[in-house]
Structure 1
Amino acid sequence: MTVHVVNRRRTTVAASHPGALIADVTSRGPEPWVRFSPFYPHGGIPVPYSPGVESASVEGIWQALKVFRGTGIDVGKLGVTSMKGLKHTVRKHGEVVGHRTGVEGSELLAYEQARRRIYLPSYRWVLENKLADLVGELREASAERDIVLLDYTTNGEVENLSKPLSHAALLRTHLTGEWPWAL
């Protein structure tokens, strides 16, 4: 069977995919699928390049290590468990100059490198260590019927920097054994 990634705002999902298991994996999705959201506070997620430092969520790591012109990182984002108040906006903080390699790191990573070296390993760690049971359920279901993963964005190309990266697309590659990015 096939695993599809579809925009959550699309109104014809069920009609377009009859019989499919539809899983809204956004922060607004129902249990248990909401657990696939990068905002979900699993806790105990290792922060890349930061031995002994953990985050509540993948999004907490991504936002904590983001550096704006004139400001440093915000380690407070690592402890956010409400799935709210995580985003740092350009409107409020100015231009993003990169992502720091860990809480004590000195190297700044460009956007694509930060996706590859911070976001991808963090999200995959969650899939393998916090969500293995649900990943197994989705794999079993996909043997019998199509799976539709709902997300706000559908971009699965890490190198496409013009659009946000879809965690549902990353989940699809993990489910299908196509995860091409080394840890």
Structure 2
Amino acid sequence: MGVVHVASRRRRPESVRGAFPGATVVDVTSRGREPWVRFSPFYPHGGIPVPFSPGVSAASVEGVWQALKVFEKGDVDAGKLGVTSMIGIKRTVRRFGAVLGHRAGLQGTTLLDYVAARRQIYLPTYRWVLEHRVSDLVETLRAEENLVLLDYTANGDPEDTSTPLSHAALLALHLTGRWPGIPVL
């Protein structure tokens, strides 16, 4: 594996090409092209194990994240686990009030704070997809010497809550063998 960069999908394509001459540019967002869209957390792979919920699976990583989110005016929503359209998955504070945390499983009693939820729910779920649903595409990207992954954010640090976590940054860490220490599903 060569060099992997993460850049904003919002940048003009010519700006990205100018900043990273000769690099292969891959949009891994839900707006990316096949097959790269499969790296999006919204992509409905199906059969994704839901952490802390033995025997329960989800269509997408984002479905797991949203299903286990707990709000002032709303608990878990198992219906989000089956969403396959890549739209209508998000649950918002506008509708449900402040986020209280993420439940450790559909039937769990423990409420995880944001960082703990990233480490114990989001990261292991996304890594499971990388290892079990898109491993062939991961190997294709590993063959690149100079790679730019496009995403809406570039934050790959689960501890940094100032911006959303970037799945492209996590993919870059996975490609280069620097994945954050987290439980594996």
TM superposition score category, shorter chain reference: over 0.9
Report the secondary structure of 2:138's partner residue. helix
CA deviations 1:28-66 (Å, max 9, x no partner) are 000111000000000000000000000000000000000
What's 1:40 paired with?
A: 43
Quote how far apart the aligned CAs of 1:168 are. Answer: 0.3
Matched, 1:4 2:5: yes
- In structure 2, stretches of 5+ residues that fail to align are none
Runs of 4+ in 1 over 4 A off after TM superposition: none
Distance in 1 between the 2:44 and 2:173 partners? 22
Q: How many Å separate the matches in 2 of 1:61 and 1:182? A: 17
Structure-2-length-normalised TM-score: 0.96
Partner in structure 1 of residue 140 of structure 2: 137
Q: Structure 1: 5+ residue runs without aligned partners?
A: none
Pairing of 1:93-172 with structure 2 (within 5 A): 93-141=96-144, 145-172=145-172
TM-score by length of 1: 0.97
* 1:25 to 2:28 alignment: yes
**Secondary structure of 1:150 counterpart:** strand
CA distance in 2, matches of 1:180, 1:99: 20
User: Letter of the aligned partner of 2:6 in structure 1?
Assistant: V
Q: What is the CA–CA distance in structure 2 between the aligned matches of 1:74 and 1:118, rounded to whole Å?
A: 15
**What do the CA deviations read for 1:97-116 (whole angstroms, capped 9, x no partner)?**
01000111110000000000
The 3-state SS of whatever aligns with 1:148 is strand
Contact 2:154 2:168 in 1 (8 A): yes
Aligned equivalents of 1:127, 1:182: Cα separation in 2:
14
Indicate which of 54, 76, 94 corresponds to 1:51.
54
SS of equivalent to 2:125: helix
The offset of 1:70, in angstroms, is 2.8
Aligned residues: 180
Secondary structure at the aligned position of 1:97 is classed as strand
The percentage of counterpart residues that share the same residue type is: 64
